[in-house]
Amino acid sequence: MTATDLSRPIWGLPHIAKVLGVSEATVRRWAKQPGVPIYRPTEQGSYVAFSGELRAWLKGKGSAASCNGHLLIASAKSRR
């Protein structure tokens, strides 16, 4: 894995949701929570997250993370 891979942006709710293995609605809710590395640069813009930040957040949460009442099981794919 290269530094470029870690800083790669993931644009849009569908893509972020797929990486995390949750629904788009869950990503939208999580983005509003402090400390969750999912951003919306402008009010009408797309959501964006960065691979390395998501991996670090998942790692900090452990293999089974809970955010706002939703259980997240970090898959091997999301940890690579």
CATH number at residue 12: 1.10.1660
pLDDT in tens, 64-76: 455 544 445 444 3
* 18-40 pLDDT tens trace: 988 899 999 999 999 999 999 98
Which domain, by its residues, includes 8? 3-79
Number of domains in the chain: 1
Long-range contacts of 2-9 (CB under 8 A, 24+ apart): 5/51, 5/52, 6/50, 6/51, 6/52, 6/55, 7/50, 7/51, 7/52, 8/50, 8/51, 8/52, 9/48, 9/49, 9/50, 9/51
